[in-house]
Amino acid sequence: MIITIAHSKGGVGKSLLAWHLSIAMNVPIVDLDFQRTLVYVDQLRQLGGLPGREIIHPQSTEEFMELFNAWDESRDVIIDVGGFDSDLNRMAIFLSDVIITPAVDRATEIAGLHKFHDVMKEISASTETELKANILLNDVSPAARDFSLMEGMIAQFPHFELMKSVVSHRADFYKTMNEGKGISELPSSTKALEELQNVINEIRGIK
């Protein structure tokens, strides 16, 4: 399964989500972000004495296509797409089995989601497919219960589907990543791990 974390807007938590998912699911990451965020996080991980993760950083669309033409379909992989629009990012979205788009539950997200929906619509039209991004409410207040703003907005977009899972703003996500660790590597279960596991279970159920 190719799981792509994608949004044409930066700062929504794509790399953080990709990192924690990859460790919890024990799968490699293809890092398409020119900032190489996950490459550097993995270096922190190794400096801390932990085994490095499999981070693949293609330098071009051609290198990316060579990678996936030879990819073993039985192996799951997570693709972390940078917060910008490009041919390479569009190719990753098209090749995906599951597209996850993190979105913060704020009115300021509306413009960014409009733009990304246009991208999804254009890719669908050019490839004669009906792609759909699964919108994951991410970095929300742990006390939040009313998501009607996002629910109403996402319902208007045919290439979006709102996920049932929600990921809250929890210090454990940031603390562990800053140490090069995953939330699933903590010695005991936490609310953050419970939420991440809900996301994984939902991803596994997406067809």
pLDDT digits (tens, 9 = 90+) for 101-137: 999 877 777 788 999 999 999 999 999 999 999 999 9
| 3-state SS assignment for residue 19 | helix
Q: In this structure, what DSSP letter does residue 184 have?
A: G
- Average pLDDT score over residue span 61-82: 90
Residue 56, beta-bridge partner list: 30
- Average pLDDT score over residue span 55-69: 89
The pLDDT of residue 129 is 93
What DSSP assignment string belongs to 42-64?
HHHHHHTTPPPP-EE--SSHHHH
Q: Which tokens hold the place of 160?
A: 């979006």
Confidence of residue 59 (pLDDT cuts 50, 70, 90): confident
pLDDT digits (tens, 9 = 90+) for 12-26: 889 999 999 999 999
The pLDDT of residue 110 is 78
The pLDDT of residue 173 is 95
Task: Give 182's contacts (C-beta < 8 A, 6+ positions apart).
Answer: 19, 20, 22, 23, 24, 176
d(CA 33, CA 55) in angstroms, rounded, equals 12
Is the per-residue pLDDT at 27 higher than 90? yes
d(CA 198, CA 165) in angstroms, rounded, equals 6
The pLDDT of residue 206 is 86
The pLDDT of residue 146 is 85
- Average pLDDT score over residue span 71-80: 91
The pLDDT of residue 84 is 80
Confidence of residue 207 (pLDDT cuts 50, 70, 90): low
Residue corresponding to tokens 């929600």? 166
The pLDDT of residue 119 is 95
Residue corresponding to tokens 């009313």? 146
Phi/psi for 198 (5° steps) reads -60, -40
Is the per-residue pLDDT at 194 higher than 80? yes
d(CA 5, CA 171) in angstroms, rounded, equals 21
d(CA 39, CA 31) in angstroms, rounded, equals 8
The pLDDT of residue 178 is 93
The pLDDT of residue 201 is 96
Is the per-residue pLDDT at 35 higher than 80? no
d(CA 93, CA 126) in angstroms, rounded, equals 13
Instruction: Give percent above pLDDT 90 in the chain.
Output: 68
Confidence of residue 158 (pLDDT cuts 50, 70, 90): very high
- Average pLDDT score over residue span 153-177: 94
What domains lie within the chain, and their CATH numbers?
2-205 (3.40.50.300)
